């Protein structure tokens, strides 16, 4: 199929977690021409493809937008790092590769917020469609999809299993598969790694589609705005190789630029809150007050301990060890280079009266920072812990008609007292878990927060200075039908013909978990909606819910 010059059936802006999925699904029957525009370039770097090198692309300007927030008033006015993928695969090429769908109730919550057709029963078939689970398909897991998912090195380090056992000893459940019927509990963690390589959406979805004659991909293309005529999207204006070009569309423009990029592009196109647009010198072409609002993210901090046995990965951080790990990975695609090292985890509730888990653990058998540097000399381990159902809300707002000027990003982290309360629970519950007998052989001194951090005031002060983003910005173009909704349940921008948004920005609320899996699911389902296909039949697979949640914080204990 030949593609007419500068005219396409669909134009997708952003070759990220959602955009690569759409590029594949919209071209697979050969009936439609698709243009995929990406500001970044190739993802062929070893630092992207080797899972253990995950800290490098996230902190490299070539591969990620290095956004910073405005001073966050409830975090001692700290500016927070907000990297977003700027490469084929988008944030799936720079993230930690953790595969968490979220709790079933998260998607039921979406439906209750007005996203009709996005309940768990509607979403589960698309999670299954997307993945190839290393241990075979069932009512919850897929085994025929593009996205390879596994458990890395199968928890060979003894610290992983000790952490799981400590959670069970503390009165929590054990879960063999938190992405199936039961999220709540402690168990193995899953990652988007296939045959030892990062299995980004560029690898899983885009590469198989690149040979199709009806797909054109342009990298290093910066979209300036959506071109509108009479409140209809007719194309995009983009910059490539120093010149401005216009690409026209027969059917639809689809923004998949992420929770920072998509609202910013809508605003640059004259779609948004008139007051925000006027302040930036942009004419309002369509008033839509919810654009850029409702911004949410996950925060986390590192709970760090010294390790009494020489089993942690801290002894693998030297140059010679890294060389050996890298060499083995290059030759065989296995070993410590083939995992993100987050191989066990936990999902628990912060207090009685919380219906489904709102706290998440990533366990790491090392004590180090996201930039890959050691936190201290010697052996250690750490837990990444965060309160995952925040009630604080922020915004993304255009500040200039110049598309090269970054938007204002303000999360208002910890503005709501419930969020501060959730992090106090993180500190106190984690100490209970790590002090269980299963950790006795490994648990050394508490390095962070430190045993002097005990009272609410001390915990709050520690969290304000130590907490970091988990890099899950979302919800800034929320799906629904209320006055602040940006897209309808079909992912169409309210009031504009021929324009959709498909990425994590359309989540009504943030799920309890990492966002790559639900973003891919959203794109899979949106691809059917865009093509007018009947959605996959809803699943009837049951969900396991803990009884007595109104009175108990954990299943195996009295009220706490």
What residues are labeled active site?
472
Reference 465, options 338, 299, 349; nearest CA is 299
Residues 6+ apart with CB under 8 A from 525: 118, 122, 123, 126, 535, 536
Q: From CA 294, how far away is CA 510, in angstroms rounded? A: 10
Helix 417-434 with 456-466: angle, nearest 10 deg: 100
**Would the annotation count 253 as a binding residue?**
no
Among candidate residues 52, 57, 120, 132, the one with its CA nearest the CA of residue 87: 57
Is 514 flagged in the annotation as binding? Answer: no
Ligand-binding annotation for 1, yes or no, is no
- CB-CB contact of 96 with 300 (8 Å): no
The CA–CA distances, whole Å, from 560 to 24, 47, 418, 554 equal 49, 45, 17, 8
CA 73/CA 71 separation, integer angstroms:
6
Which residues 6+ apart lie within 8 Å of 497 measured at CB?
231, 232, 233
Alpha-carbon distance of 378 to 2, in angstroms, equals 61
| Annotated binding residue 314 | no
Q: Is residue 450 classed as helix, strand or coil in its secondary structure?
A: coil
Q: Identify the three-state secondary structure at position 304.
A: strand
8-state DSSP, 336: G
Residue 95 annotated as lining a ligand binding site: yes
Question: 100 a known binding residue?
Answer: no
Q: What is the DSSP string of 465-534?
A: HH-EE-S--B-TT-BSSSTT-SB-TTSBBTT-BTEEE-SGGG-SS--SS-SHHHHHHHHHHHHHHHTTPP
The number of residues in the chain equals 560
Determine the Cα–Cα distance for residues 331 and 315; give it in Å rounded to an integer: 22
Could you give the CA distance from residue 111 to residue 118 in angstroms, rounded to a whole number? 6
Binding site, annotated residues for FAD:
87, 95-98, 223
Binding site, annotated residues:
87, 95-98, 223
């Amino acid at each position: 199929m030949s593609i007419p010059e500068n005219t396409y059936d669909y134009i997708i802006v952003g070759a990220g977690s959602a955009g690569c999925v759409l590029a594949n699904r919209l071209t697979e029957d050969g009936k439609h021409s698709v243009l995929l525009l990406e500001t970044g370039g190739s993802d062929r770097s070893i630092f992207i493809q080797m899972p253990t090198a995950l800290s490098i692309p996230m902190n490299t300007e070539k591969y990620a937008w290095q956004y910073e927030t405005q001073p966050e008033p409830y975090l001692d006015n700290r500016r927070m790092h907000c990297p977003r993928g700027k490469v084929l695969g988008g944030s799936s090429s720079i993230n930690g590769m953790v595969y968490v769908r979220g709790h079933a109730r998260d998607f039921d919550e979406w439906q209750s917020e007005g996203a009709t057709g996005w309940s768990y029963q509607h979403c589960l078939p698309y999670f299954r469609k997307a993945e190839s689970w290393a241990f075979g398909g069932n009512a919850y897991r897929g085994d025929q999809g593009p996205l390879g998912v596994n458990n890395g090195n199968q928890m060979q380090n003894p610290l992983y299993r000790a952490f799981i056992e400590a959670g069970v000893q503390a009165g929590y459940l054990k879960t063999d598969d938190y992405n199936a019927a039961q999220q709540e509990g402690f168990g193995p963690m899953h990652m988007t790694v296939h045959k030892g390589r990062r299995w980004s959406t560029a690898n899983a979805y885009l590469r198989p589609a690149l040979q199709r004659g009806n797909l054109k991909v342009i990298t290093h293309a910066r979209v300036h705005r959506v071109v509108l005529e009479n409140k209809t999207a007719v194309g995009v204006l983009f910059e490539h190789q120093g010149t401005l070009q216009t690409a026209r569309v027969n059917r639809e423009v689809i923004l998949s630029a992420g929770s920072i990029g998509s609202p910013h592009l809508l605003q640059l196109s004259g779609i948004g809150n008139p007051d925000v647009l006027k302040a930036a010198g942009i004419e309002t072409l369509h008033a839509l007050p919810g654009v850029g609002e409702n911004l949410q993210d996950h925060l986390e901090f590192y709970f760090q301990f010294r390790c009494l046995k020489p089993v942690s990965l801290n002894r693998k951080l030297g140059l010679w060890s890294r060389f050996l790990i890298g060499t083995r990975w290059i030759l065989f695609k296995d070993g410590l280079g083939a995992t993100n090292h987050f191989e066990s985890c936990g999902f628990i509730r912060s207090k009685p009266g919380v219906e489904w888990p709102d706290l998440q653990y990533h366990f790491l058998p090392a004590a180090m920072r996201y930039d890959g540097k050691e936190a201290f000399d010697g052996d250690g381990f750490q837990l990444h812990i965060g309160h995952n159902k925040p009630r604080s809300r922020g915004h993304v707002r255009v500040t200039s008609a110049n598309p090269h000027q970054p938007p204002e990003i303000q999360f208002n982290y910890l503005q709501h007292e419930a969020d501060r309360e959730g992090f106090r629970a993180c500190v106190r519950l984690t100490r209970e878990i790590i002090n269980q007998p299963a950790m006795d052989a490994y648990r050394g001194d508490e390095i962070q927060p430190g045993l002097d951090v005990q009272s609410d005031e001390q915990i709050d002060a520690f969290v304000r200075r130590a907490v970091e983003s988990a890099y899950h910005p979302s919800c800034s173009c929320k799906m629904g039908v209320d006055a602040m909704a940006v897209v309808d349940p079909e992912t169409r921008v309210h009031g504009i013909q021929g324009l959709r948004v498909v990425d994590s920005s359309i989540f009504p609320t943030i799920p309890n978990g990492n966002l790559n899996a639900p973003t891919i699911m959203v794109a899979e389902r949106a691809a059917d909606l865009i093509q007018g296909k009947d959605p996959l039949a809803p699943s009837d697979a049951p969900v396991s819910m803990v009884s007595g949640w109104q009175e108990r914080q954990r299943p195996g204990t009295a009220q706490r």
